[in-house]
Amino acid sequence: MRYVLGISGLYHDSAAALLGDGRILAAVQEERLSRRKNDARFPLRAIRSCLDQAGIGAADLAAVAFYEKPILKFSRTLEVFLGWAPRGARAFARTLPEWLGGRLDIRGRIRSALPGLPTGCPILFTTHHEAHAASAFLPSPFSEAAILTVDGVGEWATTAIARGAGGVIDPIEEIRFPHSLGLLYSAFTAYCGFRVNSGEYKLMGLAPYGEPTWVAPILDELICLNDDGSFRLNLEYLDPLADDHLTHRRFHERFGGPPRRPEDPLERRHLDLARSIQVVTERAMLGLARRAHEQTGARRLCLAGGVALNCVANGRLLREGPFDDLWIQPAAGDAGAALGAALAAWHGPLERGGMAAPRAPSPSDAMEGGFLGPEETPEAIESCLKRWEAVWERLEPDVLLDRVVEALIAGQVVGWVQGRMEFGPRALGHRSILGDPRNPDMQSRMNLKVKFRESFRPFAPAVLAERSAECFGLEGESPYMLLVAPVAESQRIPVVEEAEGLDRLKQRRSTLPAVTHVDGSARVQTVDRGRNPLFHALLRRFESATGCPVLINTSFNVRGEPVVSSTDDAYRCFINSRIDVLVVGPCFLERDCQPHTSLPGSFEALPD
Amino acid sequence: MSPPPPVVRLRDRCIIGASLLPPVALLMLAARAGWVPVPVRYCLMAMPLVMGFGMLLPSVFEPWHRWLSRGQSWLGRRLVFLVLLAVYGLALVPIALLMRWAGQRPLDLARSGSSWVKSKGYGSLRDPF
């Protein structure tokens, strides 16, 4: 078997992915193992985990691929400073040591991380958007598609359109830095008091509470959306070289005050700004999709890049865009680019240094349900629980499912750890916290008492794929929780008088109140037996007992913590939060029986 | 926190011993300037003795060595920051102004028109540039 290792990192969300004869064998984000959220360090642990999962060593690798061209990116960085001078002196003095301290010598870094790597093993470099495009198209079920990649910035490109056919990706056109939709969204994220490169989804969750009152000023002064789908930013309002805030004084004056600090209360203005930038992003994405359709003539679209994690925009693309079908890489951010780099090297043409392997798209997709991380054996799980002197019962699968359903019906919150860990930001039923969506108090309880996070944050429903149409207005499947769809009319409860702002949270809008967002939508995960048999069986069992084919599914972590990976992480999180029941593999644990009330956390907490 | 591992390698002993030299060197400079009543040659003679002492008792002087390393790295970071600020002001800004004067702008900052750029292809996978 020929193995190709893909690596992304040194900016944010480092990761590694391993292919064996073109099949995705493993993919892991560094943060899950290092326990530092959005870990940007070189992914040594993730690389080791991928090799261990395949049972191979560095000597077995046929190629290693990195997700960026470091020298091209460095030259762009210098050119940006030349274009930005005399502003940017502090950013220059802060950025340059990182580059000179090892970001340029990626080959050396990879060789020292993989001591047994044969000298003849090539180390290859894709461009940033090539890696995203490859991660979007090559694992997709489509033999031919348009590819749209949108993120902050790669080398120069911030947005790119390509055409994929067979195993070949042809780049068509791109929009270059500083005109970046990702940068604009991040600027509003920072302005509203959330952390850049991780708080964008909070801004998206906040949007439905506000009104789009700032859309006109944003379109008049900040971003110009052209008829051809392209856009231009007005750099007088932004400071793209500042890592932490990204906005200029003029921005603060125009949008009503200084940036919100994380500990400050959310004002009406922040809700309206969140809604407005969301509306502008959706319009821009629809324009880009139309352009991609014109340029490629394709009927299907593949999407990746950080902006592709905006599932509200994705839902609109599917409903209102020119394409018949859409496939989004579940790890659409930079972590997924590790996988893209490996796939681009595997299928890339010989004359470019690739391995020219043919591609045969699988009817579902090649992502193995997104379950590409490590897993523990029942013996390893029990050995870990023993170390903590935990109290557990080892149950047969049937009994286990019954006990979990009983707990859920009793209004308890269940931590659920099964099989291989997910790759990508969403928990898809292998590292999840589960709850009963019919319970109207469940959203605020899980937000405030279990996950210790903001009360406005919505929860996502996991629904049996075969019954999703009855509960949600979703055509087709959404196995990776990347599409937002309206809750079906049959489930809706009319709201007599609409409240304002965050008070809307208290109003019941459907028979599934815990997963219905204030605009009547939900970020749906459809669960099918093929990809996720045990979770499917659990949903079936819950449906048999209650008639409801839906569960709340949120990631198994607390605020500031990466999603749990091992039994050890899960047990500590279980003890330190108010999760009532923990299920790890066949082991069933109840909070009240445990000898601990608190344990040292397994992670490095980061501020919002 | 676990205690630091015992120092056994000769190289580490030498590093710890050498970390005791900067205070002696400072004392020597002060003696040369006449600020302290110590002959300079005594300071010179003390240097190998102090270093040898550090090598013989590495575990005693290891905390000092760690403190000094942290201080050096702190100082180094700040010095590098200041040097790079100077490089920016003295080299990058003049080049940027010259480029602008010659009509070249690396960033497309125009306010209107399409921003699509035809792709030139992805280039070779073997090249990091």
Q: Report CB contact under 8 Å: A352, B124.
A: yes
Inter-chain CB proximity B124 and A353 less than 8 Å: yes
**Is residue A239 over pLDDT 90?**
no
Q: The CATH number of the domain where A59 resides is what?
A: 3.30.420.40
pLDDT the model gives residue B1 = 42
Backbone angles phi and psi of A463, in degrees to 5: -130, 145
Q: Is residue A343 within 8 Å of A124, Cβ to Cβ?
A: no
pLDDT confidence of residue A244: 65
> Which residues are paired to A64 by β-bridges?
A5, A123
State whether B107 and A83 contact (CB < 8 Å).
yes
Select the residue of A86, A228, A353 nearest B125 (Cβ to Cβ). Answer: A353
What mean pLDDT value characterizes chain B?
87
The pair of three-digit structure tokens given for residue A180, joined into one six-digit string? 């970046």
User: What pLDDT, in 10s, does the model give residues A464-519?
Assistant: 999 999 999 888 899 999 998 999 999 888 877 777 777 777 778 889 999 998 88
Please indicate if any CB of chain B lies within 8 Å of the CB of A484: no
Does residue A191 share a domain with residue A65? no
CA distance A83 to chain B (A): 5
Per-residue pLDDT at A63: 96
Cβ of B92 within 8 Å of Cβ of A82? The answer is: yes
Q: List the single best residue of B1, B80, B116 to mutate versus A (max A Cβ within 10 A).
A: B116
In this model, does residue B2 exceed pLDDT 60? no
From A314, A346, A368, the end of a domain falls on: A368
Please give the residue that has the higher pLDDT: either A556 or A201.
A556
Tell whether A535 and A420 lie within a shared domain: yes
User: Is a pLDDT exceeding 90 seen at residue A111?
Assistant: yes
pLDDT digits (tens, 9 = 90+) for A258-273: 999 988 999 999 999 9
Kindly state whether residue A111 falls inside one of the protein's structural domains.
Answer: yes
Q: What is the pLDDT of residue A583?
A: 98
CA-atom Rg of chain B in angstroms: 27
Assess whether A12 carries a catalytic annotation.
yes
Inter-chain Cβ pairs, chain A and chain B, closer than 8 A: 134
Q: Are residues A259 and A340 in the same domain?
A: no
Q: Per the CB < 8 Å rule, is A126 touching B122?
A: yes
Smallest CA–CA separation between B23 and chain A, in Å? Answer: 29
Residues 328-367, chain A, touching B (beta carbon < 8 A): 344-345, 348, 352-354
Please name the residues in contact with A240: beta carbons below 8 A apart, sequence gap of 6 or more.
Answer: A80, A177, A178, A180, A183, A246
Q: Tell me, what's the pLDDT at A199?
A: 87
B108 chain-A contacts, CB cut-off 8 A? 176, 178-179
Angstrom distances, CA of residue A228 to CA of A61, A194, B25, B112 = 44, 32, 69, 12
Residue A258 placed within a domain = yes
Is A606 a domain residue?
A: no
Residue A607 lies in a domain: no
Q: Of chain A residues 284-323, which have a CB less than 8 A from chain B?
A: 291
pLDDT band at A100 (very low <50, low <70, confident <90, very high): confident
Is residue A252 assigned to a domain?
A: yes
**How many angstroms away from the CA of A130 is the closest CA of chain B?**
7
Helix, strand, coil shares of chain B, percent, nearest 5, are: 65, 0, 35
Buried b (16+ CB within 10 A) or exposed e, A553-586: bbbbbbbbbbbbbbbbbbbbbbbbbbbbbbbbbb
In this prediction, residue A607 carries a pLDDT of 56
Tell me whether residue A603 is in a domain. no
pLDDT tens per residue across span A526-550: 999 999 999 999 999 999 999 999 9
A448 and A527 belong to one structural domain? yes
pLDDT at residue B3 greater than cutoff 70 = no
Residue B79: closest CA among chain A residues belongs to which residue? A93
* pLDDT at A608 > cutoff 60: no
Q: How, if at all, do strands A144-150 and B116-118 pair?
A: unpaired
Is the same domain home to A226 and A79? no
At B5-61, the pLDDT tens digits run 665 688 888 889 998 998 899 999 999 888 988 888 888 889 999 999 899 988 888
Catalytic position from the list A12, A129, A270, A347: A12
Q: Both A350 and A311 in a single domain?
A: no
Which residues are CB-neighbours of A447 under 8 A, at least 6 positions away?
A: A453, A454, A455, A457, A459
CB atoms A235 and B124 under 8 Å: no
Mean pLDDT across A229-252: 87
Taking CB atoms and an 8 Å limit, are B92 and A176 in contact across chains?
no
- Inter-residue contact A572 to A605 (CB < 8 Å): no
Strands A581-584 and A414-417: parallel
Q: Are residues A254 and A271 in the same domain?
A: yes
What total number of domains does chain A contain? Answer: 3
**CA dist A40 → A10, A44, A101 (Å):** 5, 11, 15
What value does the mean pLDDT of chain A take?
92
The pLDDT assigned to A366 comes to: 94
A414 and A480 both lie in a single domain? yes
When pLDDT is cut at 50, 70 and 90, the band that residue A4 belongs to is very high
Give the lowest-confidence range in A279-283, A327-331, A403-407, A512-516: A512-516
User: Over 60: is that where the pLDDT of A585 sits?
Assistant: yes
Choice among A87-101, A303-317, A329-343, A378-392 with the minimum mean pLDDT: A87-101
**What is the layout of strands, in order, in the sheet containing A581-584?**
A393-394, A587-590, A581-584, A414-417, A431-435, A550-555, A460-464, A521-527, A483-486
d(CA B73, nearest CA chain A) in Å: 13
Shared-domain flag, residues A88 and A179:
no
Which has the minimum average pLDDT: A109-123, A189-203, A239-253?
Answer: A239-253
Q: Does A557 share its domain with A438? A: yes
Q: Which amino acid is at B85?
A: L
Which residue, A298, A313, A328, sits at the end of a domain? A328
User: In 3D, which of A56, A23, A53, A55 has the Cα closest to residue A419?
Assistant: A53
Query: Which A residues 87-106 touch B at CB under 8 Å?
Result: 88-90, 92-94, 96-97, 106
Token pair in block for residue A400: 């286990």
- Residue A21: left (phi > 0), alpha (psi -120 to 50), or beta? left
Residue A84 shares a structural domain with residue A130: yes
State the nearest Cα–Cα gap between A360 and chain B, in angstroms. 22
- On whether the CB atoms of residues A78 and B88 are closer than 8 A, the answer is no
Residues A105 and A232 in one domain: no
Among A316-320, A431-435, A555-559, A603-607, the range scoring the smallest mean pLDDT is A603-607
Concatenate the DSSP letters of all residues of A265-302 into one string: PPPHHHHHHHHHHHHHHHHHHHHHHHHHHHHH--SEEE
pLDDT tens per residue across span A27-68: 999 999 999 998 999 999 999 999 999 999 999 999 999 999
Domain boundaries, chain B: 10-101
Report which secondary-structure segment, H or E, holds A394: strand A393-394
Average pLDDT over residues A380-401: 96
Asked if A97's CB is within 8 angstroms of B80's CB, the reply is: yes
**Which residues, other chains included, contact A77 with Cβ-Cβ below 8 Å and sequence gap of 6+?**
A95, A99
Average pLDDT over residues A15-27: 96
User: What domain range is A529 assigned to?
Assistant: 378-593
Provide the 8-state DSSP code for B115.
-
How many of the other CB atoms lie within 10 Å of CB of A522?
Answer: 30
Burial class for B12, CB neighbours closer than 10 Å (0-12, 13-18, 19+): middle
Cβ separation A93–B124 shorter than 8 A: no
